[in-house]
Amino acid sequence: MPWSPALKSAARSGLHVEPSVNEPVQVLRAVLGVAVMLFGTLALGYPQLATSAALGSFIAGTATFQRSFRPRPFLALWAAAGLSLSAFVGYLVSPWPWLFVLVVGGWAFAAGLLWALGQTPGIVASQTLSVMLIIVTLPEDVGGAAVHATVIALGGIVQALLAAVWPWRRWAAQRDALAYAYASLADYARRLRHDPFAPFDPGALMTARQAAVLSAGQARKRPADLAGMRSYAERMRPVLAAMADPRVGAAEEGPERDRARELLATAAVMLDAVARSIRTGRPQPVPERAYQSLAMPTTGPVLHGAGRQSARRLIGLLAEAADAVESVDQGDPVSGRPSAPGHLARPSPTQLAPLVLHGLRRHWNWSSPVLRHAVRLAVVAALGVVIGRSLPVHHGYWAPMTAVMVMRPDFSQTYTRGVARLVGTVFGVALATAVVVLAHPGPWVCAGLAVLCIGSGYLTMRSGYVALSTFISGYVVFLLAMAGGAITGTVEERVLLTLLGGLLALAAYALFPTWQTVTLPDRLGAYVRAGGGYAAAAVRAFGEPGPESAAAVREALLDHRQARAALVTASEQAAAEPVRHHGLHAGQLADVRSAMAALGRTAMLMEAHLPGRDAAPVPGATRFADALAEQTARAADALRAEQPVDFSGLRESYARWGREQPLADEAPAREDTAGHTAPARLVQLDAGLMVEALEGLEQALDD
């Protein structure tokens, strides 16, 4: 869209207030940490020290609200360490203006790079920079700076202790993620009853996988009803799709379809019950009629062939999941560990360092939005400090601080937060100043009003950035009034500097943008390569049956999900940008995603019926899988280079397979000793569907 509609859309989004709040008990815990530090230091007779204590405790408390599956005390301690270090380093170099500008720029660059590790590290790092800009104005000597840094660290330690001794819903993040995965499967089962080709968003399963990554210590303490439950959900998804698909499951109409709909409805009921059990930690009852519906009938509507095999697998998985949450698993009597499947090992600190370096090195290229964001953030922060110190104001740090808190790696969030920050700050400053000027509250009353503001900020953190900015601005005004700051001048200066900082952030993105639109060919190429790898792994599993092939299918599926999620995110961000890619329009992108979804669905159906280790190999499957992987990799490279894709080689490979194995169409299903079927005819038919899907991709890009 053009610039004007894009800016209007960003403004509307920034000013929108969501009717959602954080958990009141969790908010009360964080507010208690702020109050302990603020009133404690104020009682010692040091208002400026109380300001530092309140800032440190507030930001460390904010870290405990970030979406993360790591323990909340860990986040608070990490935030406290960064805040304390930034405050002390900033004060040490503050007497030399140009050195301070260089340090601020370097610190901002490092903070921007930490977005490569995720949203939580990026946000916390940005907050450490804002504290550096504020705290350097408070101490009078190096000893005082050390005291302020220590008090800031104590604020984080208090928040960490409160999070440790007063945990709100222990294992809540893991429970919610896993319950959401089962609830999404229940919704998928209901949609399959009416649409056997209904799409499925794997986002919930990806989140559940992230939540399942635990350290060894966490795994020992994990509730038994969380151990191994994700594997049931992962295995259930392709089985549901296979049973509903008329090509490999129940017939499109008739008694078989009626039986499939009955099983899908029962699966939805049981999956909802499992989701409620996981979320609450207490077994939820399953209606008796649901168990009766799972019984394999000898008369009436029944399933046959691959559909019957899918039904058996689904019934078995549902029973295992229901039993896991209904029984109290005490685990192994010797080790005391849960007897369910094991956990994904979370890297130790020594193992994590190479992964962090790898993540940073992966973004160390000029096309990376993270590197460009780091450069943009460093320049804006340094320029904001120079301008703020050049103006005849007492709070020049507010301009770079506003810019740092507004800027994000993508256009939509930067402009949305910029508008919200400007409006919220002006409103919060005006309202808080009116209270101070009219009521003339004393230091203790100002401290109480500051705690009330920050409590409201914690509560409305999920409501929108405009609400959060309003309460934070009021919080700072009351802290300054408590310390005896000049309120009238503060209002005028802060409004002016907020506008200046916001304009700096918005201008920086306009002059040095990072458009997701131009990354779409690269994201699309990665999606095509990963989708081809997943499809090739599924076909190869029939040519080379065994546990290694099954594991390869699972790894390829995870890569496929990651590539799809990256493309979806980039597409959503690109839709809000005021530019368009000259070689790839929205219709083409939609058609390509549709073709790749068809390829992924066919691979998923094959995954639902992977052969056992004793199954006979399907002749020709491995050679076709190699051709499929090679051709999709070439297509991915062509997409990145904006060149035409050509799958003629894959069509020839499929035709040669048919000529060399002409009996595959009449070959009956072969069943191994484990009861798995490996019909050569169905494998060839599925391979043909994959070729058709990629031909659709080829046609979409030729339009």
| Three-state SS letters, 175-221 | HHHHHHHHHHHHHHHHHHHHCCCCCCCCHHHHHHHHHCEECHHHHHH
Is there a contact between 602 and 35 (Cβ–Cβ < 8 Å)? no
In whole angstroms, what is the distance from residue 269 CA to residue 681 CA?
35
- The model's pTM: 0.76
Give residue-wise pLDDT tens across range 559-583: 998 898 888 888 888 877 777 666 6
Return the bridge partners of 182, or none: none
Q: How far apart are CA 629 and CA 621, in angstroms?
A: 12
Looking at residue 338, what is its pLDDT? 39
Q: Measuring CA to CA, which residue among 334, 73, 329 is closest to residue 223?
A: 329
Could you tell me the CA-to-CA distances from 110 to 342, 370, 374, 376 in Å, in that order? 37, 11, 7, 12
Which two tokens mark 623? 């050679």
What's the distance, CA 159 to chain centroid?
25
Cα–Cα distance between 310 and 604 in angstroms, integer? 13
Neighbours of 196 (CB within 10 A): 20
CA distance 462 to 243: 40
Answer whether 524's CB lies under 8 Å from 581's CB.
no
Query: What is the structure's pLDDT at 449?
Result: 93
Distances in Å between the alpha carbon of 290 and those of 181, 262, 293, 477? 20, 10, 5, 60
If residue 214 lies in a helix (H) or strand (E), which one and from where to where?
Answer: strand 213-214
**Residues in the chain with pLDDT values less than 70:** 1-3, 6-7, 10-11, 14, 66-72, 137-140, 168-170, 215-220, 224-225, 227, 296-301, 326-353, 355, 483-491, 580-584, 662-679, 703
Check residue 344 and give left, alpha or beta (phi > 0: left; psi -120 to 50: alpha). Answer: beta
CB 557 within 8 Å of CB 610: no
| Model confidence pLDDT, tens digit, residues 669-698 | 434 433 444 467 778 888 998 999 999 888
CA distances from 346 to 198, 230, 343, 540 (A): 34, 16, 9, 30
**With contact defined as beta carbons under 8 Å apart, do 544 and 623 qualify?**
no
Q: Under 8 Å CB-to-CB from 656, ≥6 apart: which residues?
A: none
- Strand (E) positions, 314-363? 344-345
Distance, CA of 119 to CA of 269 (rounded, Å): 35
CA distance 36 to 28: 12
Strand partners for 677: 671
Q: Is 213 helix (H, G, I), strand (E, B) or coil?
A: strand
The tokens of 646 are what? 């050509």
pLDDT for res 216: 66
The two tokens of residue 2 are 């053009």
Side-chain half-sphere exposure of 630, counting CA atoms within 13 A: 11
CA distance 603 to 444: 66
| Greatest pairwise CA separation for the chain in angstroms | 93
